[in-house]
Structure formats: C-alpha cells, structure tokens
C-alpha cells in the first residue's frame, strides 16, 4: 500500500484529502506544521508528498527544492498544490513532479496520485 504525506496548514483540506485517499486504499499521514516535514519523511518514508505552496511561515517551493537537493529524499515525487494561477510555473521552478490546483475535485486528486503511486 502506497504511503502519502500531505502537508498543508489548512486542517479541513488535510482532512478531506486524507479521507478521499484512504477510501481509495492509500495510507495517508498529514502535517499542518511545516518544520515537521523533514522528520516525518524520515520516519514515515512516504511514496509521495503532496505539498501546499503557501504554508504559514514557509514556502512550499523552498521545501520542495530542499527535498530534491537531499540524496535521501530526492527520489520522492512531490505534488505541489495551491490556488495560485502560477502553479505550473512554480511546479517547474521547484523541481516538483506535478501540481494540483485548488479547489480540486475528487477525480483530479485520485488521478494525480495514481500517476505516482
């Protein structure tokens, strides 16, 4: 079973994403506090990270770049998600593997996850 880590400071979004993906059989962990991301990845070892760009106190693009620079996390696909109209540009600039625009529907979320898990 694929493990997915979802990072967003919007707790209702975390709950919705977790519920949808767990209903499809994925093992899902969530984080709303960005400083915990690297430790959680180390212990949870996700197959995919879904990462909000605009996290309180941080920039998801920078977090993604840091993940891609590390030999221990560079292989983990990262999907950026946000409501910004520049999401595709931000995805490319941060070396993320994909993006999901908010608001999203269930089919969009499931399809992008299936591409990486």
Q: What is the pLDDT of residues 8-38, one digit of tens each?
A: 999 999 999 999 999 999 999 999 988 999 9
Is pLDDT above 90 for 60? yes
| CATH fold label, 3-116 | Rossmann fold (3.40.50)
Q: What is the pLDDT of residues 68-85, one digit of tens each?
A: 999 999 999 999 999 888
pLDDT band at 88 (very low <50, low <70, confident <90, very high): confident
Residue 87: predicted pLDDT: 82
| SS3 per-residue string spanning 46-93 | CCEEEEECEECCEEHHHHHHHHHHCCCCCCCCEEEEECCCCHHHHHHH
pTM of the model: 0.94
Q: Tell me the domain boundaries of the chain.
A: 3-116
């Amino acid at each position: 079973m694929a493990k997915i880590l979802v990072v967003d400071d919007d707790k209702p979004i975390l709950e919705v994403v977790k519920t949808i993906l767990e209903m499809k059989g994925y093992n899902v962990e969530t984080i709303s506090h960005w400083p915990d991301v690297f430790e959680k990845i180390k212990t949870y070892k996700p197959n995919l990270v879904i990462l909000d760009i605009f996290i309180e106190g941080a920039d998801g693009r920078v977090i993604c770049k840091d993940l891609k620079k590390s030999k221990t996390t560079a292989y983990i696909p990262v999907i950026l998600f946000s409501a910004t109209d520049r999401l595709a540009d931000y995805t490319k600039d941060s070396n993320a593997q994909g993006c999901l625009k908010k608001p999203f529907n269930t089919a969009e979320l499931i399809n992008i996850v299936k591409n990486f898990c």
